[in-house]
Amino acid sequence: MKRSRTILLLLTMLLWQFTVAAQDTIIDGIVAVVGGHMIMKSDVEAQYLQFRAQGNITGSPQRIKCQILENLLFQKLLFHQSEVDSLTVTDTQVESEMDRRMRYFIAQAGSPERLEEYYNKSLLEIKAEMSDVIKEQMLVEQEQNKITENVMVTPAEVKAYFRKIPKDSIPEINAEVEIGIITREPVVGETERMLARERLEGFKERIIKGDDFATLAILYSEDPGSAKQGGELGMFQRGDMRPQFEAAAFRLKPGEVSDIVETEDGFHLIQMIERRGDFVNVRHILVQPRVSPYELNSAKLFLDSISDLIEAKEITFDQAVNKYSDDPSKNNGGIMINPVSGNTKFEMDQVDPKVFFVIDKLKVGEISSAVKWEERGKTTFRIYYLKSRSTPHYANLEEDYARIHQWTLDKKKSGVVEQWIDKKAAESYIEIMPLYRDCIFEKRWIK
């Protein structure tokens, strides 16, 4: 949809703007002005270069650049209107969003050093340049939400929208399942916790006497992701790690080793490597308390007994979730949430293979026996409940009402935004320079 393309461009504008900073060959100049806000030639060229690098070019270069400019005109119109409407974002909101995006950029670059090398700027300089761009984008998003916040659709509108879809254009819906889960975490005994701490205390004594921290991490750390690198985690900032881990790490000086730190993952020793601004790089040794075979077996037998009670209809799945589950999904009635769609339905290829192997054998309404689950070095047991299973089919109102409702709402919001652009473009000061005056725009930007 045309509107979806607009949103994508708005969301990725920041990345493209920094692409401009890394390009020294673009000759800049003003190509348009919206309410006093300028659109630069470099803004258009950078997005075009990004499209070309991704192989997204269909049509003549000038036609693509005209489409890019129209999206930028819409963005600046939203920004201008946010000022007229006196919308605001706080410094805290900007800082939080900036940190989130920096984590993404560093992950894409591979390390903070590579990000700095690419832009030829320090992390602090990059963040300083990001601040105004992020603030503008957040105001644009606020204004966009303000335009459509009161848009709703009635059941009659949903039905009317669906009936207007040509029969040969009705989309096919893949098979989907809804899965319930009850989790039991085996109890870690005090003896096992004490043994884990004693191991780390022994490692710390060895380090104090001169043993190399990195070597001990390679030999003994139970964090498979960092052990091979001598326990080194790479640069991170607050919000990336467990809170207890961060609190200890950020207090250390270069070369200093922490006391024993306990997190959900186990017990840690941490050594500071370096600190640069808001980022630190540390090594750690992780030791995880062992769950005794007795506790493992007890957890499995407990869940098997719950499964039997549900099968015998002596307790409902919902009651069992509320009373016995250790899984965060209990706040959602034990139903797993699909991280891709945000709802409770999974297409079959979205289900974890280990889960699929279990639920594929169940009929709707059935529950599995206890299954061992290992993640991040922790062992738990789960039972799965197959709440629903659909077969591949063409969309229909009976099975897919929620999905069709969203389609209808998106369509109506798109129409409201189109009307808003027509109205505000006519009311606002907009000037487009000669280079782009021959563009064939979808909206009347040139008066």
Range of the domain at 216: 190-287
The domain total for the chain is 3
Q: Render pLDDT for 219-246 as a digit per residue (tens, 0 to 9).
A: 999 998 899 999 999 888 888 899 999 9
Give the residue-averaged pLDDT of 301-321. Answer: 95
Largest CA distance in the chain: 79
My answer on whether 70 and 210 are in the same domain is: no
Is residue 2 over pLDDT 70? no
Who has greater pLDDT, 89 or 106?
A: 89
My answer on whether 364 and 277 are in the same domain is: no
Give a yes or no: residue 169 inside a domain. Answer: no
My answer on whether 179 and 322 are in the same domain is: yes
Query: Residue 56: its pLDDT value, please?
Result: 62
CA pair distance 220, 216, nearest whole angstrom = 6
Query: Residue 26: its pLDDT value, please?
Result: 46
Q: In this structure, is the dihedral angle defined by the CA atoms of residues 136, 6, 70 and 146, taken in order, positive or negative?
A: negative
Query: Residue 27: its pLDDT value, please?
Result: 58
My answer on whether 135 and 205 are in the same domain is: no
My answer on whether 226 and 254 are in the same domain is: yes
Q: Render pLDDT for 18-50 as a digit per residue (tens, 0 to 9).
A: 444 444 444 578 999 999 899 999 999 988 888
Give a yes or no: residue 431 inside a domain. Answer: yes
Is residue 10 over pLDDT 70? no
Of 287, 304, 325, the residue that ends a domain is 287
My answer on whether 183 and 87 are in the same domain is: no
Percent of the chain with pLDDT over 70: 93
Q: Render pLDDT for 369-428 as a digit per residue (tens, 0 to 9).
A: 999 998 877 889 999 999 999 999 999 999 899 889 999 999 999 999 999 999 999 999
pTM for the whole structure = 0.65
Give a yes or no: residue 402 inside a domain. Answer: no
